[in-house]
Chains A and B, each alone.
Chain A
Amino acid sequence: MPDQTTGTQPAPPRLELRGVTKQFAGVRALSNVNFRLGRNEIVGLIGDNGAGKSTLIKNVCGYHQPDEGEILFDGVPVTDLTVEKARDLGIAAVYQERALADLQTLWRNIFIGQEIETRFGFLNVREMRRATHKLMLESMGFTSTAVTPDSVVKNFSGGEKQGIAITRALYFDAEILILDEPAVGLSIKEIDKLLTFIQSIRDAGKSAILIDHNIFHVYEVADRLVIMDRGKIAGRFRPKERSVIELTQIMREIAETGKSSVPDDPFEGGGETTGEVAS
């Protein structure tokens, strides 16, 4: 395999993991993982519980540091990645249960921890209401008069709540959004709403990683699917070129044997090259 770095790549991937290994008490949670997230790309990270999805994400978010390998943002290796550093680099994780404060109003939720101030820490409430109202109309699609910036978040549906969290992340210039099992517990109608919000990440020119154990949830919206199994990347596929049935069969095969007999789909740009699959 020729060295990729000597080629004429227009821009390095937004995020890259090279040979990342992570052990917990002797158990290899991640084993020589290579992963790339391109600019304006939405990747579905698929795998069963314990496949290593969460460990991978926690390394990217700075909660864990890899034992071996390196993490690169825009082609620049970042050592000793902390939660704060990750946030400064534009990583925003959206967790369904922990994204919002339910009893608070919409405007307070948008500005949690990053309020607009006048001075001495006093709040510019009017400006925050105005900004929230604009986001509601322009980004969230809340056009009903029943909803105002002073509506309490508790009454919104699961899909809408994640939409609010996604909108908040984009408003504060997140570059990479990580959504952890975003579709769990949502009705089909709600998932449709959620997919619209995920689409808004693409429209804003940002990137996203969707973590899920179910291929159906991310099939429609992901540019690429990366399948993990037992701490390794087990396959990379383009949902556009394969049917759900085909992908499900591949998933089943990976679950049984740890790898797929179907070769990875080729990618240009941000995608990994097939030769990098850990053996």
Chain B
Amino acid sequence: MTNTSTDAPAAGGELPPVTGKGVSLLDDPKRFVNTYAGQLGITGAFLLLWLAFVIAAPDTFLKINIYTAFAATIPLFGIVAMPLTLVVTAGEIDLSFPSTMALGMVGFVLVWENTGNVPLAFLTALAIGALAGLINGYVIVKIGVPALVATIGTLFFFRGLSLVVIGGRNVTLTATRDSVLFRLFVGKFAGIPMQFFWLLLVAVATWILLNRHKYGAAIYVIGDNEQTAKLQGINTVWVRGVSFVLVGVAAAFAGVISSLFIVSFFPSVGEGQLLPALAAVFVGGTSVFGGKGTVWGTLLGAFMIGTINAGIVAVGLTGFYTELIYGAVIVVSVSIHAMVQRRFG
């Protein structure tokens, strides 16, 4: 590409100062646009979609209520989409997390029924989530089964295990309402559902891990060129394995929030969250080929995916249009990413 040709020395011998600063919008807007083209693209797409909804249904989209609803429901899949971004950036995939959401909750319910201790029940759920992730990681990284195949297997296995252990029961969680954790996870702060803050917290933590930590640096290289990672001494087994554990823990957390939110446990919890979470990652601009991932993109992707359902109804279209527009948004976004990749990548 010509824009990085290194043949010509800078005219007049004026070399850029060595500062260690990153690409800044104010100092060099053109380079900023080139560098962050993908993320600017998804931000633009997000604003366009929102604007379209505002114009088509101003009564709904200019009032606070719909946003409160979004803030309550988007985290249910958005929280898993964050570590899922790490897994996809590492060149892997995890389709099993909807079942991990249920499996973690089975542990939660059993501990809670027997002890009445909500924090202990919560920690049990997280531990089970970590264990489920560890199983995925072992099968994929150690045994060498491709992640797509392995996690289709565990998607069924974890769901089946949940159903068998809990005997297919639905459980009412009304008695958890007085607990601190209930208010901390699904209560409200300043009128905003608490799970929204948890989504933001998980997003910030994931961003730091991916972009400002050794672990994330290894994730990028492994997804980009695993041979390079190995030759440079990166422990690829450990890094890839941990990424599945992180998804497992986040899935268990999302399972707890989903269940407390409706104050009931259904063994089907998590079903229907697979595609929104995956779509959020890919709409956001994380590459299915690995090596490129954006937490900001996933966050906006989650908002786009989470907005469509309510938006379509508010606009006055029948529910038949939901999937049509859903699909269109996904196909158009990933196409834009592919074009941006060719033009600026």
Chain A residues proximal to chain B, CB less than 8 Å: 84, 87, 93, 95, 97-104, 108, 111-115, 117, 121-123, 125-130, 133-134, 137, 141-148, 150-152, 154-156, 160
Contact = CB atoms under 8 A, between A and B. Distances in A.
A130 B20 contact: yes
Contacts of B55: none
Contact of A137 (B18, B217, B234): B18
Give chain A's interface secondary structure class.
loop
B15 A123 contact: no
Interface in B253-305: 287, 291-292
B339 to A, nearest CB: 17
Given A129-B22, A133-B18, A150-B22, A145 B217 contact: no
Contacts of A150: 22-23, 35
A143 B224 contact: no
Interface residues of B, number: 41
Given A126-B21, A137-B18, A152-B345, A146 B4 contact: yes
Given A137-B15, A146-B3, A103 B291 contact: yes
Contact of A125 (B15, B16, B22, B291): B22
Nearest to B8: A144
Nearest to B1: A155
Interface stretch (B158-166, B171-179, B225-233): B225-233
B157 interface: no
Given A112-B232, A130-B19, A147 B220 contact: no
A113 B10 contact: no
A104 B22 contact: no
Interface stretch (B127-135, B207-215, B318-326): B207-215
B9 interface: yes
B32 to A, nearest CB: 10
B3 A104 contact: no
A196 to B, nearest CB: 12
Those 6 A-B pairs whose CB atoms lie nearest each other, nearest first? A130-B20, A113-B232, A101-B224, A126-B20, A103-B291, A98-B227
Given A100-B225, A123-B212, A145-B16, 12 more contacts: A84-B233, A87-B233, A100-B228, A101-B224, A102-B225, A103-B224, A103-B291, A108-B220, A112-B228, A129-B20, A144-B8, A160-B6
Given A113-B218, A126-B20, A144 B9 contact: yes
Contact of B217 (A87, A123, A142, A143): A123
* From A99, A112, A121, residue with most partner B Cβ within 10 Å: A112
19 contacts: A98-B225, A101-B225, A103-B224, A103-B292, A104-B220, A108-B217, A111-B217, A112-B232, A113-B221, A113-B234, A121-B215, A123-B214, A125-B22, A129-B22, A133-B19, A145-B16, A146-B3, A148-B23, A156-B6
A101 B291 contact: yes
Nearest to A97: B227
Contacts of B1: 155
